[in-house]
Structure 1
Amino acid sequence: MNYFIFGGSGFIGTHLINYLKENKAGSKIYNLDIIENTHNGKSIFINCDVKSEINLNIPVSENDIIFNFAAIHVTPGHPDYDYFETNIKGAENITAFAEKFNVKKILFTSSIAPYGASEEMKMETTTPMPNTPYGISKLVAEKTHMIWQAKKNQQRQLTILRPGVVFGKGENGNFTRLYWSIKRHRFFYPGRKDTIKASIYVKELVRFMVFRIENKNIDIEIFNCTYEPAFTIEEISNSMMEITGMQRKIYKIPAGILKIAAGIIGAFGGKSIGIHPDRVKKLMISTNVSGKKMKTSGYNFHYTFDQALDDWFKDNNKEYLS
């Protein structure tokens, strides 16, 4: 059994390759991406743009496993067209590749973005209502994978994961920005402290991926991937400060003032350092996603939330979170 990881040079792909190399000796790991990420010999890099037909001059068997991480995902940050072209065309070409070689297992990393922005609890059975180009493109990509599975539904296994905020070494995203904002005394609670932010540690996520894809369930499975219950922004900030030894007083300021300030700073170049009006707006809306299905799936979590933060801190020699 070999592993084909589309988008393997990214944040999650890098951690999955590390995990597979340590735990699946004897298997070949192929990283198919447009950017080569040095994995110190842990994977075989193949330059591959998923927006085009995928043709590989290497053996592929029906027992191999495909992980699809290839996506444009930073939002805001890209023209609408980019999300649709990469995320939808990529799903079409990757499932066509699986079809060609009769590969029977695909794990697709989607997002919680298809649920749309609202305060209500989101279960896997919640009707998707995406309200961004990214969320729409991810929902269409999910359906594309489902069509692939349905063509031979007695033989094919499809696992779709919808992670909350994924954090860990190399993330350079929401948790990293939060840490540095707190450290530099630039973070304020935007109007409230109880905003729920569903999240999952990247090392926990890749462990769960391998756990699910190795089961024998020939079907379509969808899992929200987040700690259960999800934590509030205040709980996340307090844990982050405690684990990294920071002593900070975080003040709550009216949301309107913060949005105005972000707009002014953004107009003068603040977007380049992560101060973007759309990101401030996102901070004010909960990502209230249930992780009960993952919690009761038979998978044993390896890290608590605080242990995950501490492990991430250790990965940076206990100097910072990045």
Structure 2
Amino acid sequence: MNYFIFGGSGFIGTHLVNLLYEKYPDAIIYNLDIVESNHSGKSNFIYCDVRLEIDLKISASEQDIIFNFSAIHTTPGHPDHEYFETNIKGAENVTAFANKFNIKKILFTSSIAPYGASEEMKDENTLPMPNTPYGISKLVAEKIHMVWQAKQEASRQLTIVRPGVVFGKGENGNFTRLYWGIKKHRFFYPGRKDTIKASIYVKELVNFMLYRIEMDIADVEIYNCTYEPAFTIEEISNAMMKATGMKRTIYKIPGGLLKFAAGVIGALGGKSFGIHPDRVKKLMISTNVSGKKLKESDYKFQYSFEDALKDWYKDNDNLYLK
């Protein structure tokens, strides 16, 4: 059996390669990406731009498995058209590759962005109402994968995961910025402490992915991949400080003032502070996503939220989180 990981050089892909290599050291793992990495010999890197037709000079069979992580995802950070070019064309080309070799199983990593920004609780049955180019492109990509499965619904398995904030070693994203903001006394609660931020540890996420894809079943399932219940920004900050031995007082200041300060700092070239008006705005809006379906499935979590933070800290030699 071969594993084809589109976008495998990224954060989640790297952790999946590590897990696959640990469990199946004799398996052939292909990392198909535009950024080179063979994960220290654990995978076979092949340059692949999913925006273009995928024509690989390798053998594949219907027993193989596809993980599709390819995406433009950082927001803010890209012109609108780039989200559509990569996320939609990528879905079309990856599913065409699966068609060519009659591959039966795809796991597609989507996002909670298709739900749109609102305070209301959202589960897998909530009507998606994306309000960003990223969220719209991800929802369209989900539908493209669903069309692929529907063409042979009696034999194809499609799993769509919608992770919350994914954290762990190599993330360099929201949780990493939060940690360094607290550590350097640069983080403040923007107008509120009760903003809900759905999240999942990267090792938990890839363990669930492998658990799910190894089921011998033909179906379509969507899973919100988050801890249940989701935690508030205050709970996350306190757990992070406890896990890393920090003692800090985090003050709450008006959100408008913090957005103004972020704009001024950004205009003065202060990118090293890691704050942006759009990121401050995102901090003030909950990502209130239910992980109840995952929690009530047969999958058994390996890490509590506190254990996950401790494990991440341990992965960095108990020095920091990054």
TM above 0.5, yes or no, is: yes
The answer as to whether partners of 1:270 and 1:276 remain within 8 angstroms in 2 is no
Q: Give the structure 1 partner of residue 154 of structure 2.
A: 154
Secondary structure of the structure 1 residue equivalent to 2:119: coil
Question: 2:74 corresponds to which letter in structure 1?
Answer: V
The percent of aligned pairs where both chains have the same amino acid is 77
**Paired letter, 1:113:** A
* 3-state SS in 2 of match to 1:258: helix
Instruction: Quote the residue 2:122 is aligned against.
Output: 122
Aligned-pair CA distance for 1:262: 1.2
Q: Offset of 1:316 from its aligned partner?
A: 0.4
- Looking at structure 1, the residues matched to 16 and 90 of structure 2 have their Cα atoms a distance apart, in angstroms, of 20
Partner AA of 1:103 in structure 2: I
**Aligned ranges 1:1-322 → 2 under 5 Å:** 1-271=1-271, 273-322=273-322
The alpha carbon displacement at 1:273 in A equals 4.1
User: How far, CA to CA, are the matches of 1:128 and 1:233 in structure 2?
Assistant: 24
Distance 2:272 2:74 in 1: 13
Secondary structure of the residue that 1:288 maps to in structure 2?
Answer: strand
Deviations 1:247-268 (A, max 9, x none): 1000011111111111111211
State the shift of 1:26 in Å. Answer: 2.2
> In structure 2, the residue corresponding to 1:121 is in which secondary structure?
strand
TM-score using structure 1 length = 0.99
Q: Which runs of 5+ in 2 are unaligned?
A: none
Task: Specify the SS of the correspondent of 2:287.
Answer: coil
Per-residue deviation, 1:217: 2.2
Secondary structure class of the residue paired with 1:120: strand
Shift in alpha-carbon separation, 1:128–1:271, aligned structure 2, 3 A = farther
TM-score computed with the length of structure 2 as normaliser:
0.99
**Comparing 22-31 with 305-314, which one deviates more in the overlay?**
22-31
**How far did 1:91 drift?**
0.3
The alpha carbon displacement at 1:139 in A equals 0.3
Q: Distance in 2 between matches of 1:221 and 1:274?
A: 36
CA contact (8 A) 2:198 2:288 kept: yes
Contact kept, 8 Å, 2:31 with 2:38, in 1: the verdict is: no
Structure-1 separation of matches of 2:266 and 2:282: 15
For these two proteins, the number of residue pairs brought into alignment is: 322
Return the alpha-carbon distance in structure 2 between the equivalents of residues 72 and 18 of structure 1. 23
Unaligned runs of 5+ in 1: none
- The CA distance in 2 between the partners of 1:49 and 1:129, in whole Å, is 29
Amino acid at match of 1:246: M
Q: CA deviation at 1:27?
A: 1.3
Mean CA deviation greater in 13-22 or 33-42: 33-42
Structure-2 separation of matches of 1:269 and 1:72: 25
Give the aligned CA root-mean-square deviation in angstroms: 0.8
**1:24 CA drift (Å):** 1.7
